[in-house]
Amino acid sequence: MSQNTHQLLLFFADQARHETAVRAVLELRRGDLERSAALQAQLGIDLTSLWTDTWFNHEFSAQADFLRLTFDTSTSAPLPLQLLAQLFQGGLRAAVVEVFYDQVGETQRYHYLAGKQVNREPFYQSEPQAGQVVDAQLGEPDEDDCCVTVAKPVSLKQLLAEQKSEAKQRDEAVQAFVELAKLSRETGSNPLEVVQGVMVIGGLAKGLLQALAFTVVTVLLFKGFWLWMGAGLLLAVALPLYHANQANKPFDSNSNDSADDSTDDNDQQEQLPC
């Protein structure tokens, strides 16, 4: 079973917050969720749900100036951006996340400063001691440079919004496939035919809306009521047909390709000697 392996290095602004975080993780490891929750509350974080529901194969170590968490997740689990945002609000100074994506065999390293994702260079310039710890704990980047780069610093708030948007789009896509499979079973139709029908109907609706918008605007802004009404009626016929034809083209192309392949196979069979 594929899984992602995460390395999380945390650098706090002061020793008190560092020690609170260490104690919170230690209580989680011991199974004392109530005591750990009280310590997490002092930092304004919720680590318990991730620890118990999303992360597994936990490993933990801490030194005087940093805290390291190692854990595995499913391949669909996102980066712990929400936790990082809470930690920065609770006194985190810097963080580095390295993820080994097992399915593709690639490693990526992310750097965070003051609640923003940054590139490796500004991170090392701002936090040289933390940079030394990162190299010692995770190793220096290889020639392929596993460090993720950004055009400019990106706030965790923006990254979280993008992460939620992507998750919503994935959920909607999955739901659409489920509905498509259900409709296909109920009607006994080929799923591609169902998709084709939906896209053609969508094209017809798009054309009608465009024709209606054209008619309303021209009637209101220009003289010649019956002229624009007539033009609108013509567009109400032409535009839906045009968009329906455009939506149908990919399926016609696939159908023609299949027919050509079938013809080629028949020709080859006819050429075989008896």
Predicted confidence at residue 183, as pLDDT, reads 64
Report in angstroms the alpha-carbon separations of 92 from 225, 248, 262: 67, 55, 64
Other beta carbons less than 10 A from residue 26's beta carbon: 15
Is this prediction's pTM over 0.75?
no
Structure tokens at 233: 């009626």
Model confidence pLDDT, tens digit, residues 31-79: 999 999 999 999 999 999 999 999 999 999 999 999 999 999 999 899 9
Question: What gap in Å lies between CA 167 and CA 165, rounded to an integer?
Answer: 5
**No. of helices (H) and no. of strands (E), the chain:** 9, 7
Average pLDDT over residues 256-264: 53
Predicted confidence at residue 274, as pLDDT, reads 41
